[in-house]
Amino acid sequence: MPEGPEIRRAADRIAAALVDRTATDIFFAFEHLQPFREILVGATVTAIETRGKALLTRFDKPYSIYSHNQLYGVWYVRAPGTLPDTKRQLRLAIHNRNKSALLYSASDIEVLHDSELPYHPFLSRIGPDALDSKVTPEEIAERLTEKAFMRRRLAGLLLDQGFVSGLGNYLRSEILFVSRLHPQQRPIDLSDTDRDRLARAILDVTRQSYATGGITNDPAIAASLKAEGWKRWQYRHWVFSRAGEPCFVCGTRIEKSAIAGRRAYICPKCQPLR
Q: How many CB atoms lie within 10 A of CB 234?
A: 16
Query: Which of these, 209, 202, 205, 234, lies nearest to 221 by C-alpha position?
Result: 234
Fold of 4-119: N-terminal domain of MutM-like DNA repair proteins (3.20.190)
Active site residue 262: yes
Residues 164-215: tens digit of each pLDDT: 999 999 999 999 999 999 999 999 999 999 999 999 999 999 999 999 999 9
Which whole number is the average pLDDT over 9-35?
A: 97
- What CATH architecture applies to the domain 137-266? Orthogonal Bundle (1.10)
Active site residue 49: no
Domain with CATH 1.10.8.50 in the chain: 137-266
* Contact indicator for 141, 199 with CB cutoff of 8 Å: yes
Check whether 266 has a pLDDT greater than 90: yes
Active site residue 53: yes
Residues 60-84: tens digit of each pLDDT: 999 999 999 988 899 999 999 899 9
Active site residue 35: no
Which whole number is the average pLDDT over 83-99?
A: 96
Q: Walk across the sheet containing 90-95 and list its strands.
A: 25-28, 90-95, 100-104, 74-78
Check whether 260 has a pLDDT greater than 80: no
Q: Which residue of the set 2, 5, 128, 187 is catalytic?
A: 2
Q: Which residue of the set 180, 186, 262, 263 is catalytic?
A: 262
Question: Mean of the per-residue pLDDT values for the chain?
Answer: 96
Check whether 106 has a pLDDT greater than 90: yes
pTM of the model: 0.94
pLDDT for 51 equals: 94
pLDDT for 114 equals: 97
pLDDT for 147 equals: 97
Q: Which residue of the set 8, 9, 51, 53 is catalytic?
A: 53
Rounded Cα distance, 165 and 154, in Å:
15
Phi and psi for 185 in degrees, rounded to 5? -75, 160
- Say how many Å lie between the first and final Cα of the chain, rounded: 31
Phi and psi for 61 in degrees, rounded to 5? -120, 160
Phi and psi for 98 in degrees, rounded to 5? -110, -30
pLDDT for 183 equals: 96
Domain with CATH 3.20.190.10 in the chain: 4-119
pLDDT for 71 equals: 82
pLDDT for 165 equals: 97
Check whether 110 has a pLDDT greater than 80: yes
Query: Which of these, 43, 83, 34, 82, lies nearest to 64 by C-alpha position?
Result: 43
